[in-house]
Amino acid sequence: MPYGTVNADLMTTSDGVSSSGLYGFKNRIINGAMVIDQRNAGASITPTTSGDWWGCDRWRYNVDQSSKFSTQQSSVAPAGFTNSTLITSLSAYSVISSDVFTVGQVIEGFNVSDLGWGAAGAQAVTLSFWVRSSLTGTFGGAINNSGFTRSYPFTFTINAANTYEYKTITIAGDTTGTWLTTNGAGIRVYFSLGMGSTRSGTAGAWAAGDFRSATGATSVVGTNGATFYITGVQLEKGSTATSFDYRPYGTELALCQRYLPAFVATGINQTLPFVGCGVNSTTQAGTYTFEVATRTPPTGITVSSASHFTSSRPSTGVTVSTAINFAASSNYACQIEIKAASGLTADVPYLLYSNSASGVMLFTGCEL
């Protein structure tokens, strides 16, 4: 028979699972099951320049060399999951000392403020995930703070090729360093796809400095055609990995849209949350209202194609857009400019509709 203790309002089971981690926002990772992919809709992307690239919502790639791997949302997943992220190596690249290749997620400070990191009493966390690779051996990753002055490199072992395995890593809370509890970067979680020696550190211990993986970890980009799948990623408070926190799809999408407000059409003539007003015969401008308050005001818009959207007002038909431009924003809405070749009228209201099932409008600059 299970037993445990009840201390005031905190229940703790005999295996150390605390009720504080079982309710509410147990998993601090957003889209850990890789079900949301607003940017790419399952399409493969290849990071063709060094810098930051985005795959499934909230999952970010840091790459120091171009075109070393491709990535996409995958339906190859372990039991209980429908999706994963797949990374495929495009060459047999030998990393140089300064190279960084990671897939990871930066957790907003507000969402880890209860951990008390950076002071005595810092709470332990447990990272758990499902992983599968064509390679076997010891792989690496790391936890970092916002300023990359604190790092906890970790390892995990993949024992069998092309087979999903469940991994858990418990990390003692960091009692030093600066850990943001704001809308900035709270905790950075990285899985290494290939790491230079400069950014590799000793596994299983906190260190001052910027380490994104453990020394000696397997390099996915080092083997041409190597595959690496990951899903079910969970970071929770406590020293025990509990079952994956399945959240409603709508909840997960809303959580993602705090970092990437988006309209993704599934057909034509679908209404956008937008009301505008004609400026002249070729321009209307108006406000797109976000479903979720964003982390920070967006700084830009990416549109699949301006022609995928039309301006419309009652009884006059539609006018196909020729350009859609950012104008101004807040955490709640974005002012945008819609251009057309002709046919718009000043001082009359306009709505905005999809003109293609491929229409996508992304509001950028809110991600971490």
Partner 1 sequence: MTEPIWKLLPDVFYRPVQVVTRTWPDGLSESCLVTAEAYLAWLEEGNQPEPADEIKGE
Question: How far is 265 from 305, CA to CA, in rounded Å?
Answer: 12
CB nearer to partner 1: pick between 117 and 353: 353
CB nearer to partner 1: pick between 141 and 276: 276
Residues in contact with partner 1 by CB under 8 A are: 51, 279-282, 285, 299-307, 323-328, 335, 337, 364-365
Q: How far is the CB of 48 from partner 1 (least distance, A)?
A: 8
CB nearer to partner 1: pick between 255 and 303: 303
Q: How far is the CB of 299 from partner 1 (least distance, A)?
A: 4
Residue 189: helix, strand or coil by DSSP?
Answer: strand
CB nearer to partner 1: pick between 205 and 323: 323
Q: How far is the CB of 18 from partner 1 (least distance, A)?
A: 39
- Looking at this protein, which amino acid is placed at residue 315? S
CB nearer to partner 1: pick between 233 and 272: 272
CB nearer to partner 1: pick between 172 and 277: 277
Residue 112: helix, strand or coil by DSSP?
Answer: helix
Q: How far is the CB of 141 from partner 1 (least distance, A)?
A: 24
Q: How far is the CB of 265 from partner 1 (least distance, A)?
A: 14
Contact 256, 330 (CB under 8 A): no
Q: How far is the CB of 38 from partner 1 (least distance, A)?
A: 15
